[in-house]
């Protein structure tokens, strides 16, 4: 059966259908398949995922952080004002596709999923390096959320989305990931982990949001400074500390050791207790 997955914290009670608190102010219409069994799609078909629009790919190298001319929509150069429509910058696939979650998308995708799998991405690592002025902070006191930076590897969750939901889900993700923070969408290959039903050679090509060097929201802070921000800041979607706690819980829910994030959580909890 097609399911709507929520990993980590317990869903809020209500009418029987739960919808996680969103990391955005917009969400796609919900879809629920009643009494149907989701067919497994061909993994090889995912290797033909569509490219990003040319303007976005060009922007990775051509947009300067120091430029003063902010266009109406330019996610790397500055936030897009509320009320401004985010254009389509991700081409819509004609088949089921995957979205990689390494931060809040792990426990709070905000859209219906057919299935979710623990995966690993090689060539990038997860880092609290993205300034958040809406979701987990304010312009006066910015919080921090996760970004992907080159080097190493990172474990997370891949969510499979129906082809029929592509436009709604991608419109939602364009608003959620590109309006405030300077992410760049990319299609990257992921390796499933802990899945005996498929060989280690199988890969998933998934939509992934990385943080390029030219991003306006990219910051580099010491471990001590990061802990201080997480312990102090809050935004529209709650405290920055809860972002970290939910991330660790979401990773554990899919059998992934949070690693160094455990020590960071201890430090943040200690700072909160002493304040």
Give me the pLDDT at residue 216, please.
84
Phi-psi region of 262 (alpha: psi -120 to 50; beta: other; left: phi over 0): alpha
Which tokens go with 17? Answer: 């259908």
| Structural domain includes residue 79 | no
Partners of 146 in the β-ladder: 128
Parent domain of 214: 50-56+89-274
| Structural domain includes residue 69 | no
| DSSP H or E stretch at residue 271 | helix 260-274
| Structural domain includes residue 125 | yes
pTM above 0.85, yes or no: no
CATH of the domain at 189: 3.10.490.10
Per residue in 44-79, pLDDT (tens digit) is 222 233 334 433 333 333 323 333 344 455 555 656
Give me the pLDDT at residue 77, please.
63
| Structural domain includes residue 44 | no
Mention every residue, 6+ apart, whose C-beta is less than 8 A from residue 156: 100, 101, 102, 105, 106, 118, 119, 120, 121, 126, 251, 256
62, with CB counted inside 10 A (0-12, 13-18, 19+), is: exposed
**CA 74 – CA 217 distance, rounded (Å):** 12
Catalytic residues: 177
| Structural domain includes residue 253 | yes
The count of structural domains within the chain is 1
| Structural domain includes residue 217 | yes
| Structural domain includes residue 245 | yes
User: What is the DSSP track for 219-260?
Assistant: ----HHHHHHHHHH-EETTEEHHHHHHHHHHHHHHTT---TH
| Structural domain includes residue 121 | yes
**Local structure of 116: helix, strand or coil:** strand
- Mean pLDDT by runs of 10 across the 275 residues of the chain is 38 35 42 32 29 39 34 58 74 95 96 95 96 93 96 97 96 86 90 62 90 88 97 97 98 94 98 95
Per residue in 173-198, pLDDT (tens digit) is 998 888 777 788 999 999 998 654 44
Give me the pLDDT at residue 180, please.
73
Block residue for tokens 């982990």: 193
């Amino acid at each position: 059966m097609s399911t709507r997955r929520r990993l980590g914290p317990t869903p809020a009670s209500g009418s029987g259908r739960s919808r996680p608190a969103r990391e955005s102010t917009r969400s796609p219409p919900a879809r629920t398949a009643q009494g149907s069994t989701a067919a497994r799609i061909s993994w090889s078909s995912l290797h033909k995922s569509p490219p990003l629009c040319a303007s976005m790919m060009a922007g990775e190298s051509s947009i300067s952080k120091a430029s003063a001319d902010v266009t109406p929509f330019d996610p790397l150069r500055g936030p897009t004002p509320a009320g401004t429509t985010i254009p389509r910058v991700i081409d819509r696939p004609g088949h089921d596709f995957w979205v990689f979650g390494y931060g809040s998308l792990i426990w709070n995708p905000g859209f219906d999923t057919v299935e979710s799998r623990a995966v690993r991405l090689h060539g990038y690592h997860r880092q609290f390096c993205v300034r958040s002025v809406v979701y987990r902070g304010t312009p006066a006191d910015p919080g921090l959320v996760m970004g992907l930076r080159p080097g190493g590897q990172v474990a997370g969750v891949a969510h499979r989305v129906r082809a029929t939901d592509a436009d709604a889900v991608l419109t939602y993700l364009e608003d959620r990931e590109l309006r405030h923070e300077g992410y760049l969408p990319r299609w990257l290959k992921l390796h499933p982990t802990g899945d005996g039903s498929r060989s280690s050679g199988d890969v998933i090509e998934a939509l992934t949001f990385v943080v390029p060097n030219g991003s306006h929201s990219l910051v580099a802070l010491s471990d001590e400074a990061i802990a201080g921000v997480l312990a102090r800041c809050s935004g529209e979607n709650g405290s920055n500390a809860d972002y970290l706690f939910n991330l660790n819980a979401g990773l554990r829910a899919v059998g992934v050791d949070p690693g160094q994030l455990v020590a960071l959580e201890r430090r943040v909890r200690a700072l909160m207790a002493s304040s």
